[in-house]
Structure 1
Amino acid sequence: MEAQKSLQTHMEPLLPNSVQIHTTGQAAPPQVSSAREELILLSRKFVGEALACFMVVFTIMAVKINTSTLESDGAASLLALSISGGLATMVTIFTLGHVSGSHINPAVTVAYTLIKHFPLELAPLYVCAQLLGSIIASLLLEVVYGSQWQIALVKRTGTVTQAIVAEGISGFILLFVCSSVATDTRAIGQFAGLAIGATITLNIIIVGPISGGGINPARALGPALASWDFTDVWVYVAGPIVGGILGAAMYWLLRPAEVKKQGTGKDVSIKHVIKAISFRDSSTTSYSTL
């Protein structure tokens, strides 16, 4: 016991009796450093999601313009567009999936949020990142190819009813597959990019001749905002989102609760970041010598 007391005495800080430390408020808690790390992680997720959507949207629009310029027939153009869309999605998931989850699509974010696979507080941030990536892709597309918005925009050839039903079906299929590989621990996660990319390819082949193969609200909204042409944009927003919600809900009903997989975004909290940073700013420490 005496040895322990002696050790504690030597470990105490050696301060003169005339020196005292006074603090106003509380000292900054350890949460501040973790909040900074969470803020950095949050920024990485935002940039990663914006880049993911940029890569996919720019690729699809560029291929669509190129096939039109080369005067390819309808079948060749559709095949090129579907394969490029699927490959771009697959590459993006493999490249940025571990950074942001690579939702790429607001319909995916909304559906994941509703089935509680993705936190509600991050959903608006992800949607904004996706729209930002799509808008940047559209603006750069105009720089590279000129004002070819009639080709770059998503255009339907069927009726409005046919287009919205087709977009809803594609959204259902996409989110059913996404929910399978992303929310179920029994799925082989390494093949998620391949499965989702193949689904995008099939969806464009199926619905492309009818609705134009939007499938992604950001794909339609980005060039629409850049060109200020909002013709039938609501079809490409409502269709995939409603269909996606139904597809995610369907797999949610089929999946046992015990095999639920942890969702992307659970490791960061906007509320914690704001609270910790605000607390750090309001906390002050003063030192005085008496």
Structure 2
Amino acid sequence: MPRCNKCLPVESWAASPTCLTDFPRPDVSLTRKLGAEFVGTFILIFGATAAPIVNQKYNGAETLIGNAASSGLAVMIVILSTGHISGAHLNPALTIAFAALRHFPWPQVPAYIAAQVSGSICAAYALKGIYHPFQSGGVTVPSVSTAQAFLVEFVITFNLLFVVTAVATDTRAVGELAGIAVGATVMLNILIAGPLSGASMNPVRTLGPAVAAGNYSQIWIYLIAPTIGAIVGATVYTLIKLKDEGDGGPVTPRQVRSFRRG
């Protein structure tokens, strides 16, 4: 088979290169992105889930404001620390929405989601080992009707992706403040929706703790509503944002940015 000069150096022990020995060299860049997504999602889920668990264990010590601050701060520090590596998606709904609007390549979507799901589940089991038997405090379950929970998750994820799309894809936005803007949006959403649905905004925020606690009550709401809300929120900002100077031609695929500098 033709050589691409991108194969691993296996010729020293293989008599002749074949389709079984011509392995492509690993994409180090993508590997680092996935590592950043895994660690970033782990930090986010650990911080966002630990606060409600502590609240349950210590009779409301954190309060709703503490829960909101914990999640908002976790989002902010992860964006500031890993945004330049992977874009700090941390959320399958965000990844799908960005891919749908051509801000992110579709071929990388499954790998990103796998890293996010893995980070969430690992964080949830770490919390289970630390705070057992109070794991149920970190599971997002609706305290209102199914329709109300679906609608509130849709709206707050719409809000989140509207802001994320603004600071991550529009060159006129103040990119250096992206972490603060997104963290503040998460805090606001939890303050207004936390008592209703848990204010997930993120399928893996619900999935990991649900797996660790074995509680899958109404989980479909938290998988579908945030994904639809994310796509609609990102689309609405894309439709209303100002065009770049001289931009009168057809829309072309954007550079993969998210929370990456440059």
Fold match (TM-score > 0.5): yes
1:199 aligned residue (185, 192, 210): 185
Structure 1 255/145 Cα, relative in aligned 2: closer, same or farther at 3 Å?
Answer: same
Say if 2:228 is the partner of 1:242: yes
Q: Out of 38, 41, 50, which is 1:53 matched to? A: 41
SS at match of 1:258: coil
How much has 1:257 moved relative to structure 2?
Answer: 4.7
SS in 1 for 2:60: coil
Partner Cα distance (2:3, 2:227) in 1: 47
Deviation by residue 1:208-230 (Cα, 9 ceiling, x = unmatched): 11111111110101111223321
Q: Pairwise mapping of residues 95-174 of structure 1 onto structure 2 (< 5 A)?
A: 95-174=81-160
CA contact (8 A) 2:203 2:222 kept: yes
Q: What runs of 5+ residues in structure 1 fail to find an aligned partner?
A: 1-24, 266-290
One-letter code aligned to 1:67: N
For 1:95 and 1:257, locate their aligned partners in 2 and report how far apart those are by CA, in whole Å. Answer: 30
For 1:202-248, what per-residue CA distance to the aligned partner results, in whole angstroms no more than 9, with x for missing partners?
01111111111111110101111223321111111111111111100
Which AA in structure 2 matches 1:162?
Q
Pick the structure with more strand per residue: 1
Contact 1:60 1:85 in 2 (8 A): yes
Structure 1 residue corresponding to 2:29, chosen from 41, 53, 63:
41
Q: 2:51 aligns with which of 45, 50, 63?
A: 63
As a proportion of its length, which structure holds more helix? 1
Aligned residues: 237
Aligned counterparts of 2:28 and 2:154: Cα–Cα separation in 1: 36
Residues 210-289 of structure 1 aligned to structure 2 (within 5 Å): 210-258=196-244, 262-264=255-257
Listed one character per residue, the Cα deviations across residues 237-277 of structure 1 (whole Å, up to 9, x for unaligned) are: 11111111110000111124537962249xxxxxxxxxxxx
Percent same amino acid among aligned pairs?
37
Query: What is the root-mean-square deviation of aligned Cα atoms in Å?
Result: 2.1
Instruction: Work out whether residues 94 and 193 of structure 1, in 8 Å CA contact, stay in contact via their aligned partners in 2.
Output: yes
1:103-137 CA-partner distances (Å, limit 9, x unpaired): 01111101101111010001111111110000000
| Equivalent AA in structure 2 for residue 110 of structure 1 | I
Q: Deviations over 1:4-31 (max 9, x none)?
A: xxxxxxxxxxxxxxxxxxxxx54543x5
State the TM-score, normalizing by the size of structure 2.
0.85
Q: Secondary structure at the match of 2:103?
A: coil
Quote the residue 2:20 is aligned against. Answer: none
Residue 32 (structure 1) shift: 5.0
| TM-score normalised per structure 1 | 0.77
Q: Which structure would you say has the larger Rg?
A: 1
